[in-house]
Amino acid sequence: MKSVASAPAKIILFGEHFIVYGGKAVLCSIDKRITVESELTTANNIEIESSLGRLAIPKSGSYKDTDLVFRPLAYIAQKTLEKFNSESGMRIRVSSEFPSGVGLGSSSACCVAAAGSISGLFGKLTKEEILKIAIDAERTIFENTSGADCTVCVYGGILEYSKDGHIRKLENAPNLELVVANSGIAHSTSKVVSMVRQFKDGKPEIFSSLCTKEANLIEDALDALQKNDLGKLGKLMTQNQEFLEKIGVSNDTLSSMISLVGGASYGAKLTGAGDGGCIIALADKSNLEKVLGALAEKYECFSAKIDTVGLEQRAS
Ligand code: PMV
């Protein structure tokens, strides 16, 4: 039997970086997925295959010896075999509909899909139980993860969250039409987070005033989301981009991508850590083709809707 599970990509709509200093952020899952397929084998190892490579590890070794890219998968596989006293080996295949390393949450989606798929070989766990395994797995590579990315992958939809563990799913959230465009520049979240810390330490008053403005902006954004007010939401995205530019996490490429869609979309901003990665632009049926057209010549881009499903599991 094969056990298959998939989980969605995520984007940050508002609040990246400011959340590190106590603010709220709003993130959502989108309809691009990572799928993990697993099966038990008679081999004495765990085989992992994805577009990032191929690996076979001893099933009883330590996951800590596994390359970072595959460590969460090794962790979930080893812990699950151990928990069920299984003598079997395991084969795991990962396939993805979206790029990794550009702030779309590929590692969280992979942890969630793997936790769903691998646990499904032995029985049915609740979403809460799968979320816990996925967060533990993600902690093997990002010790300080807030767990918000894995949470949105499991439940889908739009979430408001803050670093102190507050997570709230927005009820009746609109199904936004977004365009995601990849700058093609890989970024390191930890490097960009420390650049922001330097900005804050060098200009504490400016930073503190931006934190206050961002907090107000997020309350307005939550209100606009409830009212499905695209015009307002787009303006707030563009304003959020200005704050991100002030703290130095945008760059020429991201700014020029945002200018390209300035006229066509309701609004646009970088998403995630910045200094590379992706931008998002808000659209609807009336302007979607125009927004895609403005970016498609130079950048990898796709349209995305909010995913309201989250984790999906099946046996085959
Ligand atoms: O690179 P991403 O998409 O995972 O976003 C990081 C978000 C930050 O606010 C910059 C960092 C954080 O830990 O919240």
Helices (H) and strands (E) in the chain, counts: 9, 12
Residue 146's pLDDT is 80
Per-residue tokens: 64: 């800590």
Give the three-class secondary structure for 232: helix
Q: Which atom in ligand 1 lies closest to the alpha carbon of residue 12?
A: 3
Per-residue tokens: 182: 């990849």
DSSP state of 83: H
Interval 94-104: pLDDT, tens: 999 999 989 89
Cβ atoms within 10 Å, residue 280: 28
Interval 123-137: pLDDT, tens: 999 999 999 999 999
Residue 257's pLDDT is 97
What's the maximum distance between 2 C-alpha atoms anywhere in the chain? Answer: 62
Residue 234's pLDDT is 98
State if residue 296 touches ligand 1 by the CB under 6 angstroms criterion: no
How far from 174 is each of 16, 168, 170, CA to CA, in Å? 21, 15, 9
Q: Would the CA dihedral through 57, 76, 271, 263 be positive or negative? A: positive
The domain made up of 2-172 is a member of CATH 3.40.50.300: no
Residue 147's pLDDT is 86
Give the three-class secondary structure for 104: coil
CATH number of 177-305: 3.30.70.890
9: β partners: 30
Residue 275 bears catalytic tag: no
Which of 31, 65, 136, 149 does the annotation list as catalytic? 149
Residue 309's pLDDT is 95
Interval 200-252: pLDDT, tens: 999 999 999 999 999 999 999 999 999 999 999 999 999 999 999 999 999 99
Residue 316's pLDDT is 76
Sites in the chain below the pLDDT cut of 50:
none
Residue 136's pLDDT is 96
310, 115 Cβ separation under 8 angstroms: no
Which residue ranges make up each domain of the chain?
Answer: 2-172, 177-305
Residue type for position 226: Q
Mutate to test the pocket of ligand 1, among 10, 11, 12, 185 (most ligand atoms within 8 A of CB): 12
Interatomic CA distance for residues 19 and 13, integer angstroms: 12
